[in-house]
Amino acid sequence: MLNEYLKKILAARVYDVAIESPLHTATFLSERLGNQIWFKREDKQPVYSFKIRGAYNKVVQLSEEEKAKGVIAASAGNHAQGLALAAKELGIRAVIVMPRTTPEIKVMSVRARGARVVLHGDSFDEAFKHSQKLVEDKGYTYVHPYDDPDTIAGQGTIGMEILRQLKHSPDAIFVPVGGGGLAAGVAAYVKALAPEVKVIAVESTESACLAAAKEAGSRVILPEVGIFADGVAVAQIGENTWEICKDYIDEVITCTPDEICAAIKDTFDDTRAVLEPAGALSVAGLKKYVEREQCSDQNLVAILSGANVNFDRLRYISEVAEIGEGREVILAVTIPEQPGSFQRFCSLLGRRPITEFNYRYGDDNEAQIYVGVKVDAEPGSRAALVDELREDGYPVLDISDDEIAKYHIRHMVGGHAPAHVSDERVYRFEFPERPGALLNFLKKLGKRFNISLFHYRNHGAAYGRVLVGLQIDDDKREQLHGYLEELGYRYWDETENPAYQLFLR
């Protein structure tokens, strides 16, 4: 099988529209991690993503009859742009079905390249089903974003370039995975010519379909897919890609959204380019690998797969990047309510910069403060700061990993609830972010219960996050939970959450 793919990759038609992307030395990250690290800059392609390679290689090999029907695909955005450009270059009609949650910049880019965009569903899989219906109804030729041998071969040219561009074979290549087209193509070429090189797949924890398949020994469908890293938001690894990945991918590393945000900052520091979440996924995986293996002086390559990110999503990314890297700690600290307390507390922090400080007068004896502090990224820095403050007599709670502390409490510190709001229960909700989503949520929730607390921010993330306080008697709680299940949104009971208890209860 590898020989067949090797032939296809060597014969792939990609350079009519794609460039041989540069291999960029990541100077800052290399020094920090003690390894030689390179970024394969696929964000520099004409559509700011590697997807142009596979899309063009597939379309150029279609028969004249297939081209005449017009082409169609389902895509979260990058394959869509690649296919739109390929179709434009070859004079073919193109229709792209995209999830409604696709970043606007990707939708605009597809339309700018002459393709017709159909927005349908909240995930790739819903968009894919609709695209298949259009194939049946209209007779379009479907061009799969990843699960096709010619598409895989087009992506495999990246592996060919990496081996040619480096003077010595890399120790490992880190590849982001959604449906697996890029990973399969790179693994097929690299393992055919340099089997000693590790090819390591990196997935988002919200869409780790290859990791699930590896564990099960066969392709599985994830019950739920998060879409923060929308470029890899796929519920099932491809059939053709699985046949390669199951044997030739050395391991799979999964990364959280916070870790991905930190990797976006790392790539910006070294390239001055802002990647989309899926585009920086390989860097996040590379960092976890180095930390786990404690390796040094190795040659490591991370494929930067794309840079199609909505500008407003940068608010969310910048907000959590420092936490994801472990360079910011968020603390709930109790200090005496008396003049000079804040000054004394700050003096204990030394030269550590304070990133945030929230406070509201509560009573005459104690003040509860919410404080963000920058720390070194070295392991143990957070714990060391907490220990220092406790040794000086301050009650401290590290809430850096608390979801409602990160996304809600920091914007709400302003006083506790009045005494008569004693029947308040607090819930955290997540729902796919799209126009009208918040209004729809309020219509469903607000008719039955009195809302005593509410916080929502549209900060460019793929999911809307809402913190809601509801006044509900204990004997009606089971009825409430039944209704919340009917709503269909993910939710968590946060009534006992320590950050809520300290700042808002």
Residues annotated as part of the active site: 51, 305
Residues 6+ apart with CB under 8 A from 64: none
Q: Cα separation of 234 and 227, whole Å? A: 9
Residues 389 and 398: beta-carbon distance below 8 Å: no
Q: Cα separation of 373 and 130, whole Å? A: 48
Residues 244 and 184: beta-carbon distance below 8 Å: yes
Residues 6+ apart with CB under 8 A from 171: 197, 198, 295, 298, 299, 300
Q: Cα separation of 239 and 241, whole Å? A: 6
The CA–CA distances, whole Å, from 42 to 5, 162, 368 equal 21, 12, 48
Residues 80 and 127: beta-carbon distance below 8 Å: no
Assign 359 to helix, strand or coil. Answer: strand
Task: Indicate the residue type of 404.
Answer: I
**In the numeric block, which tokens belong to residue 29?**
């990250």
DSSP class of residue 416?
P
Q: Cα separation of 8 and 57, whole Å? A: 10
Assign 138 to helix, strand or coil. Answer: helix
Rg of the chain, C-alpha, whole Å: 25
Give which of 270, 400, 225 is closest to 327, Cα–Cα.
Answer: 400
Q: Is 393 left (phi over 0), alpha (psi -120 to 50) or beta?
A: left
The CA–CA distances, whole Å, from 83 to 160, 232, 238, 310, 465 equal 22, 17, 19, 20, 33
**In the numeric block, which tokens belong to residue 23?**
């291999």
Give which of 135, 27, 122 is closest to 73, Cα–Cα.
Answer: 135
Give the position of tokens 């739109």: 84
Give which of 399, 448, 486, 224 is closest to 468, Cα–Cα.
Answer: 448
- Tell me the CA end-to-end span of the chain in Å, nearest whole number: 62
Give the position of tokens 């406070």: 359
Q: Cα separation of 139 and 158, whole Å? A: 32
Assign 336 to helix, strand or coil. Answer: strand
Give which of 63, 107, 115, 64 is closest to 89, Cα–Cα.
Answer: 115
